[in-house]
């Protein structure tokens, strides 16, 4: 079987299981890396030993993170089970060393500076990621019908792990969001008049509800300026803004505002969670708003705030006789 045939079968298996386009791209990347590692030998000839050698190579020679090694493993598990119909069991490769890395978090003032250096719908998107705790992809995929102004909520469909959830809609964004919907409505009406107006539909809804692909409710909240051809059916549709457009805008805003140079789109989501925790919001609520499967993932923000050691006095404080919270210098007092 040629590599082209393998890619076609892989693509069909991905679509059958409704995996996200980003997941498809990531999985195929690691499958290609695996094929190159084994000098392009077809994976049908391989088994557990070949996969273990590859994963050990990633950990020992490439020094990848545990998360990256897990993604590569998941890609290969999918390939062997869903495409080759040969499930892998009992894999025992060298595991990448875990690294405890705290997320980058901005202060409220820095968030304000960053967003202040952005404009238009890109500014609104940054406000949504910070104000609602959305991932970049979740913000991009928002549709008009996902906004519930009555209950001040936003529905996130097919988030990480193919899960749906409901998050809050900030009151201060309602006017801006309403104006954004008006812009989408005007643009969509113009598309319909030109004989277009189609949008990519999730799962098989386009077949189940043939007219829904032209309804305003399913239009992306942040549509692309240009129409593009859908690779799945060859039809001309209006997709959402490309992720790099927002990423570049945030990067420029980081430089212009002078905030932490490591800040990215995802930093706004981290800041959302950390600031909620500072306000006294309980971890379970934050977990639900973020869409975390495990509370342990959410607990990382207690480390960001230092709450995991709350109430512990440094021995130097006891040694010098300073009470907790007492200013010890004019700089600190200021």
In the prediction, which pLDDT does 92 show? 85
CB 155 within 8 A of CB 164: yes
Q: How far from 307 is each of 102, 270, 310, CA to CA, in Å?
A: 14, 16, 5
Q: What is the pLDDT of residues 223-260, one digit of tens each?
A: 999 999 887 778 899 999 999 999 999 999 999 999 98
Asked if CATH classification 1.10.150.130 holds for the domain at 3-83, the reply, yes or no, is: yes
Q: What is the mean pLDDT of residues 257-265?
A: 92
* Tens digits of residue pLDDT in 3-53: 668 999 999 999 888 788 888 999 999 999 999 999 999 999 899 999 999
Q: What is the pLDDT of residue 309?
A: 58
DSSP conformation letters of 166-216: EEE--GGGHHHHHHHHHHHHHHHHHHHHTT----PPSTTHHHHSTTGGGSG
Instruction: Please check the confidence at residue 213 and state whether its pLDDT lies above 90.
Output: no
Residue 317: pLDDT band (50, 70, 90) is low
CATH number at 103-319: 1.10.443.10
Between strands 165-168 and 147-148, the pairing is unpaired
What integer is the mean pLDDT of 68-76? 93
**pLDDT value at 312 more than 70:** no
Residues annotated as part of the active site: 135, 160, 266, 269, 292, 301
**Tokens for 290?**
């973020």
Q: Do domains 3-83 and 103-319 have the same CATH topology?
A: no
Whole-angstrom distance, CA of residue 239 vs CA of residue 229: 9
**Domain coordinates of the chain in residue numbers?**
3-83, 103-319
Of the candidate ranges 99-108, 143-152, 276-285, the one whose mean pLDDT is the lowest: 99-108
At 38, is the secondary structure helix, strand, or coil?
coil
pLDDT at 190 over 70: yes
Q: Is the dihedral of CA 58, 64, 70, 74 positive or negative?
A: negative
pTM as predicted: 0.76
% of the chain residues with pLDDT over 70? 87
How many CB atoms are closer than 10 A to CB 135? 18
């Amino acid at each position: 079987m040629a590599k082209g045939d393998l890619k076609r079968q892989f693509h069909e298996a991905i679509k059958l299981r409704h995996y996200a386009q980003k997941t498809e791209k990531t999985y195929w990347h690691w499958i290609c890396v695996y094929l190159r590692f084994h000098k392009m030998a077809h994976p049908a000839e391989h088994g557990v030993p070949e996969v273990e050698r590859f994963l050990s190579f990633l950990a020992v020679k490439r020094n990848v993170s545990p998360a990256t090694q897990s993604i590569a493993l998941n890609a290969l598990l999918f390939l062997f089970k869903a495409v080759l119909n040969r499930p892998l069991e009992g894999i025992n490769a060298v595991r990448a060393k875990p690294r405890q890395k705290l997320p980058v978090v901005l202060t409220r003032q820095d968030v304000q500076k960053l967003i202040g250096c952005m404009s238009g719908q890109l500014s609104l998107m940054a406000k949504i990621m910070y104000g609602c705790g959305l991932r970049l992809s979740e913000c991009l995929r928002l549709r008009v019908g996902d906004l519930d102004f009555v209950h001040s909520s936003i529905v996130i469909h097919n988030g990480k792990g193919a899960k749906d959830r409901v998050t809050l809609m900030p009151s201060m964004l309602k006017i801006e969001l309403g104006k954004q919907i008006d812009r989408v409505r005007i643009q969509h009406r113009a598309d319909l008049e030109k004989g277009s107006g189609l949008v990519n539909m999730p799962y098989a809804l386009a077949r189940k509800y043939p007219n829904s692909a032209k309804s305003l409710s399913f239009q992306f909240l942040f549509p692309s300026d240009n129409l593009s051809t859908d690779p799945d059916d060859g039809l001309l549709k209006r997709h959402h803004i490309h992720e790099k457009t927002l990423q570049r805008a945030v990067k420029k805003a980081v430089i212009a505002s002078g905030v932490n140079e490591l800040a990215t789109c995802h930093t706004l989501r981290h800041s959302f969670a950390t600031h909620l925790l500072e306000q006294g919001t309980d971890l379970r609520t934050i977990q639900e708003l973020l869409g975390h499967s495990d509370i342990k993932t959410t607990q990382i923000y207690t480390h960001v705030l230092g709450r995991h050691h709350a109430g512990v006095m440094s021995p130097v404080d006891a040694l010098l006789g300073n009470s907790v919270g007492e200013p010890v210098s004019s700089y600190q007092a200021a």
